[in-house]
Structure 1
Amino acid sequence: MKEFSLVATGDSLITLKQSVHSEPQYMRLLTLIRGVDCAFTNLEMNLHDYGPTCYPAAECGGTYTRAEPSILEDLLWMGFDIFSTANNHSLDYMYGGLFSTIEHLKKLDVPYAGTGKNLAEARAPCYHSTSNGRVALISACSTFANFGRAGHQRRDMKGRPGLNPLRYLSWFEAKPETIEKLKQVEKELNLPDVVQEEDAYYFNRTKFRAGDNPGMRTKAHPGDMKENLDSIKDAAKQADWVLFTLHAHEGLLR
């Protein structure tokens, strides 16, 4: 197999033209980006001109991010080849902003992954061909407003537009005596009864399990994990190199 070079950057939150700059340090950075077989970035802006369908969502990814569609041409000028669109800002301007971004990417024939008009599209790989091999990209996100999650299409129902989710399940491990204290608080406050699992206890919608090592626990959502792995396996049959990216704002609780 031939040698292959990759540049992978973080988030491109760029709203002003970059092609006007010519500082030596900046040009050296662009030389690095342009000199590899494939350069990746996370496109963390909606591309639209506040069209009639681009309304701000009731919940955004921290702030509302958008850029003039021409900014995409600047990113291509900088040397980027392949883009992720799955992030906490994907639905900042609801479906109008999502579809406008996709439209501008397709207009310039830019490979992107992570969003689509249904979950199958959002989880599908995109491809970029180079002289040293073909690259596939699958892009997912774990930090998002729940309405931004794409949904599967059925024979009797359209799929839901949105991003490719990689959700996670979370709970707290607590000592048995701590759980007993929570049960006492539940009685004192006369909280509504909830259906409890056999091996867990829910207090105020938070899940607790008994154990000797207190702390927060997480694991990937089994369904999301399986379908993303399936997409990676499919991509590996069609490409020499497979890149999987995850946009996440979660961190360890201290």
Structure 2
Amino acid sequence: MNISNSLRRTPLAGTVIAALLAAAPLCAQAPAGPSKNPDDFLAEPPKPPSIKGDFTLVAIGDMLYSHPMAHSADPKLQEVITKVRDADFAVSNQEGVFIDLETFDGTGYGLGQLWGEGRLANDMKAMGLDLVSVANNHSTDFGSEGLLQSMRLLDAAGIGHAGGGRSLAEARRAGFVDTPNGRIAMVATASTVKENARANDAFGGLNARAGISTLRLRKVNIVSPSQFAAIRKLASDRASPREPAPAATAKEIEFGKEIYRAGSGDPVIYEMDLFDHADLLKSVRAAKAASDLTIFTIHAHESPTGLDDDTPAPPNFLKTLFHDVVDAGADVVVGGGPHSLRGIEIYKGRPIFHGIGVFFIRGEIKATQEAAFRVFPDPATGRAPPPVPEPESVRPGGNPASWYDSMLAEVDYRDGRARRVRVYPLDVGNTRDRSRRGIPHLADPETARRILENLRKWSADLGTRVRIEGETGIIDIE
């Protein structure tokens, strides 16, 4: 990335975006009003990508940090940042919000809030980021006020953003950035969210509510026939007028706020809300009509086990959603959330990163009073005891070691067509040393080989071949 190109990239104003999207044609089969049928937005193929000339897109993982790092004296971090800056365009997920606590007039929600300094928008710009998602499970830790302030700071820094807004329609809408090679669009959403994070449109006399674009899911536990029979008996034994016993022919049972179904395969599956599914495809199709390259990203902590863990296999709904968004017009798909890596898939010539990991994991959590009061007070002082030393990440109570394996992915385009993916393994500092921990470095040969061997295996499971050349993974796109 050169300085002159960087200076020429300018996010479009929200009103201009709204006008463009209002005028952008959808496929002929798309209904005039809201649809609950995703197929309405897949009836016709989208236009091909039209980004001009040789163009390199960089995608990195979650920007989960609280204090500026762009000008760090760490030479190995600067080596990674240089790769971001040298790209023609760079995208990421801004995890959480950044606000000045001394002047912020909102408040925090929940037991702990992920917080970042207000200077982080300019810091991300200095690292070379051009377009970010603001839709994740920490987007509203400081309410809609914190989200909107972060979006204003991104605007002021010249970074495009997607996934948040003053209404659901605005949060669904793509963010756009113009470059010398063409216009880039991003549609962003999250399936793992906190209560009241979802944006709402004005309805029934109520004002719109600021928030993020969300994909609602219905979680279904898959159990064996004998387990299903036991759950049926327990639900029948505990039945009441408000929660009647399941019918003898019921194929699905809701009990204890969980849904159970007899079957095999993944222990947990997720069913997408049809309106959200269709609405996201509508947004992708509209973004493609108004751009030369369209990116889709989702923050999803769900896994096939039902736990927020580092399972390398993606959950069922992401496999469906990712193919659908490509069919609707997405040229690149970036999945994130569980902070660990998953495989890479090439679908119809479009790269899908099922799990891109983190870039930084140095977030500062601000605890609320209610969080402090949950800690039993020290009998000698009547106050909460001092915190114990932070454990090693690989020890019980610490972060999983897999969170510290990551990647920087480059996608090379020539005249609109993706030609090659290059993967650079990152070591994000799995150490007690706080000056190093959570900071990305290019992985040493041994660590790089381990990360790439894992990616090669997981990508093969998705039908994609990754070849390893030194400390780099290569995917040639036919």
TM-score by length of 2: 0.49
State the one-letter code of the partner of 2:156.
Answer: K
| Change in 2 beyond 3 A, CA 1:26/1:213 | closer
2:406 paired residue number: none
Asked if 1:174 is matched to 2:223, the reply is yes
1:236 paired residue number: 288
CA shift, 1:201, in A, is 1.7
Aligned pairs for 1:167-246 within 5 A = 167-190=216-239, 192-194=242-244, 199-211=251-263, 215-246=267-298
CA shift, 1:77, in A, is 0.8
CA shift, 1:195, in A, is 8.1
State the superposition RMSD in angstroms: 2.3
2:109 paired residue number: 57
1:139 paired residue number: 188
CA shift, 1:24, in A, is 3.3
2:66 paired residue number: 15
Q: Give the counterpart of 1:91 among 116, 140, 150.
A: 140
| Change in 2 beyond 3 A, CA 1:188/1:40 | same
Asked if 1:3 is matched to 2:81, the reply is no
State the one-letter code of the partner of 2:124.
Answer: L
Alignment partners' CA distance in 2, 1:103 and 1:169: 33
State the one-letter code of the partner of 2:58.
Answer: V
CA shift, 1:194, in A, is 4.2
State the one-letter code of the partner of 1:8.
Answer: A
Which runs of 5 or more structure 2 residues have no equivalent in the other structure? 1-51, 307-478
| Change in 2 beyond 3 A, CA 1:243/1:214 | closer
Q: Following TM superposition, where does structure 1 have runs of at least 4 consecutive aligned residues deviating by more than 6 angstroms?
A: none
CA deviations on 1:121-180 (whole Å, 9 max, x unpaired) are: 111101111112211011111111131111222373322211110222221233444333
Q: Give the counterpart of 1:150 among 195, 199, 206.
A: 199
Aligned pairs for 1:115-134 within 5 A = 115-134=164-183
Contact 1:48 1:97 in 2 (8 A): yes
Asked if 1:47 is matched to 2:92, the reply is no
Alignment partners' CA distance in 2, 1:39 and 1:214: 34
CA deviations on 1:56-100 (whole Å, 9 max, x unpaired) are: 1035xxx41122211211111111111110011101011221121
Alignment partners' CA distance in 1, 2:246 and 2:125: 53
CA shift, 1:223, in A, is 1.3
Contact 1:4 1:133 in 2 (8 A): no
Q: Tell me which moved more, 177-186 or 126-135.
A: 177-186
Contact 1:150 1:161 in 2 (8 A): yes
| Change in 2 beyond 3 A, CA 1:151/1:193 | same
| Change in 2 beyond 3 A, CA 1:71/1:178 | closer
Q: Tell me which moved more, 84-93 or 37-46.
A: 37-46
State the one-letter code of the partner of 2:228.
Answer: I
Alignment partners' CA distance in 2, 1:105 and 1:213: 43
Matched pairs, number = 251
Alignment partners' CA distance in 2, 1:58 and 1:19: 30
CA shift, 1:28, in A, is 2.3
CA shift, 1:19, in A, is 3.8
Alignment partners' CA distance in 1, 2:57 and 2:137: 25
Aligned pairs for 1:66-105 within 5 A = 66-105=115-154
CA deviations on 1:196-235 (whole Å, 9 max, x unpaired) are: 6854221222222233558322232211111111000001
Which runs of 5 or more structure 1 residues have no equivalent in the other structure? none
Alignment partners' CA distance in 2, 1:26 and 1:175: 49
CA shift, 1:49, in A, is 1.5
SS at match of 1:4: strand
Q: Tell me which moved more, 182-191 or 76-85.
A: 182-191
| Change in 2 beyond 3 A, CA 1:18/1:49 | same
